[in-house]
Amino acid sequence: MNNHFDVIVIGAGAAGLTAGIYLSRAKVNTLILNEGTVGGQMVLTHQIANYPGIENISGYELASNMKAQAQKFGCTIKSNVKITSFDLKGETKKIIVNNKDEYTSHAVIIATGGRPRSAGASGEEEFKGKGISYCATCDGDFFQDKEIVVLGGGNSALEEAVSLTKYASKVTIVHQFDNFQAFEHYVSEAKKNPKISFIMESKIIEFSGDEKLRKIKIQNQKDFNISEMNIDGVFIFIGYVPNSEMFQEIIDLNENKEIIVDKNMHTNLPGVFAAGDNVAKRYRQVTTAVADGTIAALSAAEFVNNIIKNVHIEDTIE
């Protein structure tokens, strides 16, 4: 089996799949390696209503469409694999999967995305999956007619809080500041929903219970008073941490562990590009990830074509 490709894309979220679509359509032999489920953060989103040309679509459906489109153009996708080692410094990039399978390429696009940020409160690790969730789409229906809390104040927190009212009898949004960081549309939708209430300038400092989450402690950030709330579940939407740790010894990162790229999505390593939520930038949307993936793909394709062109020139001279 030939395990050499023109470009290897690490990650199959919006950025990675878009890169796969563009590269494969341009007849660039492309492999996407993905450690989890294809779709990345998209599959955790209940509804996407601001993707140009599509009135609304579930994140899962959009991810499935992107995957099928990439495969239609000839992109190879291997998911649920573990990258165990790699060498991206040489002219030929090498990636080892599951401690045995080696794949090589001329260029690599790192599109590993991010993961939900933890609240950092006592008991959080203990009650993950036992009342604490980071995905409304995945777990919302487990809380039918229950009282739940949504932690966060950005677009995702307010949008998902509204979607959770389809299941829960009451949703309380806990936010550490006195105003929301979300767009006014999301704030308005949440405020006019009769099932949603708000606890502002506060944070959760403790999760407790028995075999399941039963109670949280909330601390007011102005007077530091602590109150307790009996609760059936908590959904945490306070941002994402970039999945960049495995590259930190060779790729330049900023203070937030985000990958530093130029306007062409090139990292500090020749032939290594990055795209999506792991890249240093201000806004993180499906559309911005798609844009990153497009630019990275076009840049990688140009990089590969120059290598092939130079090889042909050298062959002619010889």
Give the DSSP letter of residue 44: G
CA 205, CA 216: separation in Å to the nearest integer? 8
| Residues in a beta bridge with 105 | 5, 93
Is the per-residue pLDDT at 1 higher than 70?
A: no
> Which domains occur in the chain, in start order?
4-115+240-317 (3.50.50.60), 118-236 (3.50.50.60)
Task: Give tens-digit pLDDT for 173-202.
Answer: 999 999 998 999 999 999 999 999 999 999
Task: Give tens-digit pLDDT for 248-261.
Answer: 999 999 999 999 99
Q: Please report which confidence band the pLDDT of residue 316 belongs to, taking 50, 70 and 90 as the band edges.
A: very low
Nearest to 132 by CA among 207, 203, 205: 207
* Single-letter amino acid, residue 157: A
- CB 167 within 8 Å of CB 147: no
Give the DSSP letter of residue 136: H
> How long a stretch of residues is the chain?
318
| Residues in a beta bridge with 273 | 109, 266
- The pair of structure tokens assigned to 304 is 């590969």
CA 123, CA 139: separation in Å to the nearest integer? 19
CA 137, CA 65: separation in Å to the nearest integer? 18
